Amino acid sequence: MFGRERTDPGREQSGPGPQPRVPAQEQRLAEPRVPAQEQRLAEPRVPVQEQRFREPPEPFDRPRLPEPPAPFDRPRSPEPPEPFQKPRSPEPPAFRRTPPLPAPGPSGPEPRTPAQRSAAPTPQPSPDAVLIRRTMAEAGPVADKVTSYFYALLFVRHPDLRPLFPAAMDTQRDRLLKALLTAAEHIDNTPVLVDYLQNLGRGHRKYGTRPEHYPAVGECLIGSLSRFASAIWDSETEAAWVRAYTTISQVMIDAAAADELRAPAWWYAEVVAHDLRTPDIAVITVRPDQPYPFLAGQYTSLETPWWPRIWRHYSFASAPRYDGLLSFHVKAVPAGWVSNALVHRARPGDIIRLGPPAGSMTVDHTTDNGLLCLGGGTGIAPIKALVEDVAEHGERRPVEVFYGARTDHDLYDIDTMLRLQQSHPWLAVRPVVDQQAHLHLPDAVREYGPWNEYDAYLSGPPGMIRSGVDALREAGIPSDRIRHDSVEELVAAGD
């Protein structure tokens, strides 16, 4: 369930990875041993809001979505089953300790952590944070075994959950580890992590995740951690993980329940235009079947009919439009299932599915600060949306756009950006081509400025984000005014 299309390709392998071997002394595979001290997690309470907006249907099991009977009169998902009737768990304790881990789930990248803004680290970590980080330090060297064993436990004990996941689990295993690292980084930063978990809870609705799934995930996660961190595992460590996971699951469940009252779990969208800008980059425009609210600079998750249960993140390439159309810039990357399908296979009339909007890399209209925008490759898409947003608000604050590419050929949207520059005197667009200037995008930014009265926005490959943040800090922009999507998630989403 963890987890936008980026120029940094991610790896994908066909077919599910092999199940990890369980040693003979662990009895038989049908019943993997879990340490005796493991206690069952409290069933997360089912939120009071029992009335569902709607539940998603079963994941696609066909190569293409059925044709709609009339333009976007497609029936929505079936009525949900009777509400989960297990006894509710008591109210979770107050959020005194920041939970460390979002619940693993079905395919596709999950909503990213909010646009990164540095926060002062907590001088004294909480007792649970110490124990959880110690567990991760112990299990880190064998992370592949931890995640493989976790999924073995989950699918053997709860085979009914297997259809929620994609056939190939290689990328999914990587996403679990990245989620653990993200949680560890923010374990004592409650506002950041709670916002992250709420986005996850809302995003998980499109997978069909229900409250009763969370205890199973938690038990198997603790079972795997206790096995591979046995040298430091004790009752206090287990209790810390139980407390953290119980609180995490409740945050996600409550966020999903609140979201059900105001938005669908997913939207159907018809491809209405497919513009192949280069042999491997396409601008795709879709019309959702019902209003789709979002902000410039945000992104969504997308599923194609050719790869069911595999969702990838893409940024909106424009500010909200009066006609309701949505545009995405997609680059086909090696072994990228979704990206290659969208660039080389999708055509007008095809139906895809969209998850909810997410992300906070948006314009702050309460300040007069200028905008310094760095867009590399298809990362120019959300930058273009931010420029349109400033224009639509009638503001004349300065906007400086650095558009990075390896070659002239890769500046596929430069004509659009230059037209915007001609229309708005407060906008400056500077293309930076590596092979011509022998200068990387972050280095070019250092040659201009000063930038101390600007808010910075970065979008592009993970390497560009990292070097760009360093360059902007050196140029005098405070960390809390540098916004970008989570680098860890970008690494997992480039396919």
pTM for the structure as a whole:
0.68
Residue 59 burial (CB count, 10 A): 18
Comparing 346-355, 356-365, 473-482, the range with the smallest average pLDDT is 473-482
Winning range, highest mean pLDDT, from 26-30, 114-118, 268-272: 268-272
**Cα–Cα distances in Å, from 167 out to 16, 32, 48, 163, 308?**
5, 22, 34, 8, 9
pLDDT of residue 176: 63
pLDDT band at 44, cuts 50/70/90?
very low
Annotate the chain with three-state secondary structure.
CCCCCCCCCCCCCCCCCCCCCCCHHHCCCCCCCCCCCCCCCCCCCCCCCCCCCCCCCCCCCCCCCCCCCCCCCCCCCCCCCCCCCCCCCCCCCCCCCCCCCCCCCCCCCCCCCCCCCCCCCCCCCCHHHHHHHHHHHHHHHHHHHHHHHHHHHHHHHCHHHHHHCCCCCHHHHHHHHHHHHHHHHCCCCHHHHHHHHHHHHHHHHHHCCCCCHHHHHHHHHHHHHHHHCCCCCCHHHHHHHHHHHHHHHHHHHHHHHHHHCCCCCCEEEEEEEEEEEECCEEEEEEEECCCCCCCCCCEEEEECCCCCCCEEEEECCCCCCCCCCEEEEEECCCCCHHHHHHHHCCCCCCEEEECCCECCCCCCCCCCCEEEEEEEHHHHHHHHHHHHHHHHCCCCCCEEEEEEECCHHHCCCHHHHHHHHHHCCCEEEEEEEHHHHCCCHHHHHHCCCCCCCEEEEEECCHHHHHHHHHHHHHCCCCHHHEECCCHHHHHHCCC
pLDDT band at 7, cuts 50/70/90?
very low
pLDDT of residue 123: 58
| pLDDT tens profile 428-453 | 999 998 866 666 777 788 888 788 88
| pLDDT tens profile 68-93 | 334 334 434 334 333 333 334 333 33
Comparing 53-57, 241-245, 260-264, the range with the smallest average pLDDT is 53-57
Residue 421 burial (CB count, 10 A): 17
| pLDDT tens profile 187-198 | 788 887 888 888
pLDDT band at 95, cuts 50/70/90?
very low
Q: What is the dihedral of CA 322, 326, 385, 186, to 10 degrees?
A: 120
Q: Is the pLDDT of residue 16 over 60?
A: no
Of the candidates 384, 402, 377, 403, the one whose C-alpha atom is nearest the C-alpha of residue 462 is: 377
Distance from the Cα of residue 407 to its chain's centroid: 29
Mean of all residue pLDDT scores within the chain: 76
Q: Is the pLDDT of residue 168 over 70?
A: no
Of the candidates 495, 63, 65, 102, the one whose C-alpha atom is nearest the C-alpha of residue 312 is: 495
| pLDDT tens profile 212-261 | 999 998 999 999 999 999 999 999 999 999 988 888 888 889 999 999 99
